[in-house]
Structure 1
């Protein structure tokens, strides 16, 4: 992946913020919400409440120098999505930067049985530390058990698993998905003036990302915009073609729709195609707000077809390896570490386009 100077600066910011986070307790560890950042800013990492945290002793692991280690990364989905491409590249870049002895990388191709076997295979190849991007919140129990049996610590990133931190896995690194939904709702209220009828293009079922992005959005709309009503919710499975198909159906079945909340950029871009084909002006006739922060979606803001995008930061590499280094040095890490996200709208999209992934 080609990295712009601005993208390199963002990565450096993650490394510095992650180092600051891991050096001691933050307000967020005491229960204060982490900063979300204003449009264009890169406010990066803070720790969510996690009790006393997890240590080598409580997890049952042994000290390890990552430069002498075999590390495994399990990607969950086909890398047709810019988020997954950027996420994998971030892990690879940081592993190379710190000099990891060997990095094993697998891709489950959106198949849960394959992700389980991928993880088991990496363990068989001697992986001593695992970073996993789970396909679903449930179903990885056999893989997590295999890692636990070998005392191999597991960091989960971008999607939570329904399991116990510091027992079944070490820690979760990811965005505050409920907060993303709330921020998307605020952007929608601004774009619509607080009135209209909204369709939600839901992400795939069976993971916390979809649930939390939906709940955050719905609750915020109900609380702050009585003039906005949600008239349809249908899954687009985080895919552009599916998002387009669903939007085509909704244009026929719910012609009164004046706004679309897409739970990722790919579905939003699919909705743009469907709306244009129906003779509507996306961004004008139908307001669109999405989550991810891909370059294509931010460019669509510049072009006027999408109104706002809440970033979901995929650059986990620096924070994941900083967390691992702290853990293997015998220090405590929290049950959840939250990476903060930018926001793009018409006011900053053109200037910040190079920051998108």
Structure 2
């Protein structure tokens, strides 16, 4: 058996330590993306039950087709468990990158981590995951989306300036545990707390759905007949709330102000009609920004942790003029 000097052993240990450190650093980073002429790309959509989601999906499909990329598309139909399974299926199919619109913040963490473990970078679209459990630049590449807190703030700021004595608010929340519901509530509620004389008399989830929003609005209007504002986290619930207001024998836009977020064509049309008071847009056209970000990463550019989509705002002053531009 050869004899090893103390120096040889120290050098070997140092090299092993360096290799271990390098491996640890690599494991802590988002997997790289090779520059190629074409890609096989996954898009894990959360659901397709409203115009916003349909517009987002159409934008992603159109951009992939324009670039000549193969798009593996799945629809989780509102199930976080199915969406995790969808991502695992994409991993098994060997996609190069995964665009993920997470149904909820916590349940999709295993999907993000599984993709990372298998060397596939993930780009989050429109909703994020729990920042305590996964981080941009480490576990996934980036989040592309709107500033949901700012959206809620903008709705509240408009109300404070244009309330005309209407101060008792019913809030229709989005899907429990989702980042837009959490943040749109936070932004709106905190801004309203700072305004004098306003109060949120009831707040309940309508799950971002039109009929659920209608049902919840009906029940809350019965419990709080003095409410004169409804703030909905999305257009679908706001449109459902119009039916609830009318069923209560009241006039939307006159007896009860309705505020919304999303900015679909139907809702912007209702602003023009005066039934919805104001809508904060949440831009669903993700295709160009998503694939541009992917290309930048493949070129070796440093990607910011949050790529912001810019949003418009609609009220009586511009709804008719902007209607043709709404999705």
Residue pair 2:278, 2:315 contacting (<8 A) in 1 also: yes
How far residue 187 of structure 1 moved from its aligned partner, in angstroms, is 1.7
- Partner Cα separation in structure 2 for residue 60 and residue 240 of structure 1: 39
How far residue 190 of structure 1 moved from its aligned partner, in angstroms, is 3.0
Q: Tell me which structure has the larger Cα radius of gyration.
A: 2
- Partner Cα separation in structure 2 for residue 168 and residue 137 of structure 1: 14
1:63 counterpart (31, 34, 38): 34
- Partner Cα separation in structure 2 for residue 254 and residue 58 of structure 1: 51
- The CA deviation string for residues 66-124 of structure 1, in whole angstroms up to 9 with x for no partner, is x32100100011x1211100111111111112221x11100001111111111111121
The alignment partner of 1:85 has SS state of helix
Structure with larger RCO (C-alpha < 8 A, sep 6+): 1
How do residues 1-357 of structure 1 correspond to structure 2 at under 5 angstroms?
A: 58-65=29-36, 67-77=37-47, 79-100=48-69, 102-162=70-130, 163-193=134-164, 195-223=166-194, 225-357=195-327
The alignment partner of 2:199 has SS state of strand
Residue pair 1:191, 1:287 contacting (<8 A) in 2 also: no
Structure 2 gaps, min length 5:
1-25
- Partner Cα separation in structure 1 for residue 288 and residue 219 of structure 2: 42
The alignment partner of 2:71 has SS state of strand
- Partner Cα separation in structure 1 for residue 129 and residue 82 of structure 2: 17
- Partner Cα separation in structure 2 for residue 147 and residue 256 of structure 1: 50
The alignment partner of 2:32 has SS state of coil
The alignment partner of 1:245 has SS state of helix
Residue 20 of structure 1 corresponds to none
Residue pair 1:159, 1:174 contacting (<8 A) in 2 also: yes
> Normalization by structure 1: what TM-score?
0.81
Distance 1:226 1:95, change over 3 A: same
How far residue 194 of structure 1 moved from its aligned partner, in angstroms, is 5.7
Structure 1 gaps, min length 5:
1-54
The alignment partner of 2:260 has SS state of strand
Residue pair 1:188, 1:288 contacting (<8 A) in 2 also: no
The alignment partner of 2:129 has SS state of coil
Residue pair 2:33, 2:121 contacting (<8 A) in 1 also: no
Residue pair 2:166, 2:228 contacting (<8 A) in 1 also: no
Query: After the TM superposition, which segments of 4 or more aligned residues of structure 1 sit over 6 Å from their partners?
Result: none
- Partner Cα separation in structure 2 for residue 306 and residue 342 of structure 1: 16
The alignment partner of 1:354 has SS state of helix
Distance 1:213 1:194, change over 3 A: farther
- Partner Cα separation in structure 2 for residue 251 and residue 208 of structure 1: 26
Give the paired residue count: 299
Residue pair 1:293, 1:312 contacting (<8 A) in 2 also: yes
- Partner Cα separation in structure 1 for residue 143 and residue 248 of structure 2: 42
Instruction: Give the RMSD, CA atoms, in angstroms.
Output: 1.6
The alignment partner of 1:255 has SS state of coil
> Normalization by structure 2: what TM-score?
0.88
How far residue 193 of structure 1 moved from its aligned partner, in angstroms, is 2.9
